[in-house]
């Protein structure tokens, strides 16, 4: 049985489901890369200036890193 109704129209209705009609599709596994995987900091010093030759994994995006560093400081206070 197929109903072409919006979901809210189906609320409160009950249906008998034939298990042989249920189709289960496999969901592909998504590999996630966590922030902790290769970035250990924002690459900023205590004055929110980029650290030269840092080895923290951050490259470029200086303004965004400074903004993120400011937010981190505000949260820590």
In this structure, is residue 1 part of a structural domain? Answer: no
In this structure, is residue 24 part of a structural domain? Answer: yes
In this structure, is residue 72 part of a structural domain? Answer: yes
- Between 16 and 48, the more confident residue is 48
pTM assigned to the model: 0.44
In the chain, how many domains are there? 1
Residue 50: pLDDT band (50, 70, 90) is: confident
In this structure, is residue 2 part of a structural domain? Answer: no
- The mean of the pLDDT values for the chain is 73
> Residue 25 belongs to what domain range?
7-76
In this structure, is residue 15 part of a structural domain? Answer: yes
- What does the alpha-carbon distance between residue 17 and residue 2 come to, in Å, rounded to a whole number? 11
């Amino acid at each position: 049985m197929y109903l072409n109704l919006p979901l809210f129209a189906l609320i409160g209705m009950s249906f008998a489901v034939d298990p042989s009609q249920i189709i289960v599709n496999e969901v592909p596994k998504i590999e996630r890369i966590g922030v902790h995987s290769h970035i250990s900091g924002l690459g900023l010093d205590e004055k929110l200036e980029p650290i030269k030759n840092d080895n923290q994994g951050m490259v470029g995006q200086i303004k965004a890193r400074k903004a993120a560093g400011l937010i981190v400081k505000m949260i820590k206070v």
